[in-house]
């Protein structure tokens, strides 16, 4: 028997070509430390809604946390 990977090709094609709407909300907290170094923490939430999908889901959630230093 042979294994067909066509469904993965269909899923990738749909993911790359489907129409979608995306909303994004961010919150950033920063603080100045001694030595003029500014540290920050940033939270980011994104919601993506895809239309007319057959092989992949319609709603995607993404939550990210970034921590960094600025000079």
Contact yes or no for 63/45 (Cβ under 8 A): yes
* pLDDT at residue 61 in the model: 96
Average pLDDT over residues 36-41: 93
* pLDDT at residue 6 in the model: 86
Cα–Cα distance list, 69 to 30, 31, 34, 47 (Å):
9, 10, 12, 27
């Amino acid at each position: 028997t042979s294994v067909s990977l066509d469904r993965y090709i269909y899923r990738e094609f749909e993911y790359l070509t489907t129409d979608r709407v995306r909303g994004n909300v961010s919150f950033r907290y920063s603080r100045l430390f001694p030595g003029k170094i500014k540290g920050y923490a940033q939270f980011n939430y994104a919601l993506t809604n895809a239309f007319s999908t057959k092989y992949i889901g319609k709603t995607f959630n993404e939550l990210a946390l970034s921590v960094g230093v600025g000079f």
